[in-house]
Amino acid sequence: MAIQLGRCIVVVSLLVLISPLCMGGGYLFPQFYDKSCPKAKEIVQSIVAQAVAKEARMAASLLRLHFHDCFVKGCDASVLLDSSMNIISEKGSVPNKNSLRGFEVIDEIKAALERACPQTVSCADIVTLAARDSTVLAGGPYWEVPLGRRDSLGASISGSNRMIPAPNDTLPTIITKFKLQHLDLVDLVALSGGHTIGLSRCTSFRQRLYNQTGNGLADNTLEESFAAKLRWGCPRSGGDNNLFPLDKVSPTKFDNLYYKNILYGTGLLSSDQILFTKSPDTMALVKLYAENNEIFLEHFAKSMVKMGNISPLTGYEGQVRKNCSL
């Protein structure tokens, strides 16, 4: 339901109360395509469902694609652009190279939407909807997605290298990167719960196994038997692209076991485990979510809406691309 208050719109759903979404030149609201492309959400959901049925990991990949888009220049599909005469693609950045996935699914969705409603639905909205649908398919919460984003005209590889939280960042650095996006500690810990699904490469956590602080020793917050299993598949050298589940218990199910793993020292990434070891405030949230799956899912949904509203282009800003990579 959308309620107009002056120049703002308040969107209300059973799960999430969305603050007024007044953006430069236009609004974001769930019904944005109801008249111009009434089957848009159905088309996105159908293709995402097919992709996840084919490969369960794709749910996590599409969710991560949304994160990596929004943290650079806002949620504007800049991450999808290929390099050209005037653009250096974000796909080549340190966080994204040989790592970010799901582009072919977005392309398939875009092609279907162009057949149904030419040059109407933005790539930015496709990425945002696909992240929500992926979460639901993995057993996570549903939330209404405010729509009406437009696509960027450019990309920022420097922003991608600088703004996206890294697995070995310190907690103060991660907090700062979230604050720059107007996301608070609750958002940080709740959105980190996206790591309840998906896989990570050896290169993202090798430092924890062999040389966490430069002294040649493993991270002492990593549970020893878990560390031994990881070393078996992630040697000191080689095996960079060997994959490991971010949640060792239920890697394809969206639940709160990610937080329970952290309590027992079996969080995979340093950026996961430090939520419990480096701050009493984030530790309290980890404990809360580990104890109460419903609260985690509720907070995750709210934080996803909040993240999805980072600096969108609206109205006559940007463009609606015919091809998401061009």
Q: List, in order of start, the domains of the chain with CATH numbers.
A: 39-164 (1.10.520.10), 171-306 (1.10.420.10)
66 is catalytic: no
Produce one character per residue of 142-151: b if its CB has 16 or more CB atoms within 10 Å, e if not. Answer: ebbbbbbbbb
pLDDT digit string, tens, across residues 58-117? 999 999 999 999 999 999 999 999 999 999 999 999 999 999 999 999 999 999 999 999
Q: Is 74 annotated as a binding residue?
A: yes
Question: Average of pLDDT values for 165-177?
Answer: 97
What is the model's pLDDT at position 216?
A: 83
pLDDT digit string, tens, across residues 251-297? 999 999 999 999 999 999 999 999 999 999 999 999 999 999 999 99
**Does the pLDDT of residue 317 top 60, yes or no?**
yes
Q: What global pTM score does this model have?
A: 0.92
pLDDT > 70: what percent of the chain?
92
> What's the mean per-residue pLDDT of the chain?
93
What is the model's pLDDT at position 176?
A: 98
What is the model's pLDDT at position 15?
A: 40
Residue 130 has φ and ψ, to the nearest 5°, of: -65, -35
Q: Is 165 annotated as a binding residue?
A: yes
* DSSP-derived secondary structure for 92-132: GSTTTTTT---HHHHHHHHHHHHHHSTTTS-HHHHHHHHHH
Q: Is 265 annotated as a binding residue?
A: no
Question: Average of pLDDT values for 145-156?
Answer: 98
pLDDT > 90: what percent of the chain?
89
pLDDT digit string, tens, across residues 33-63? 999 999 999 999 999 999 999 999 999 999 9
Active-site entry in 66, 68, 182, 299: 68
Q: Is 195 annotated as a binding residue?
A: yes
3-state helix, strand, coil in the chain (%, to 5): 45, 10, 45
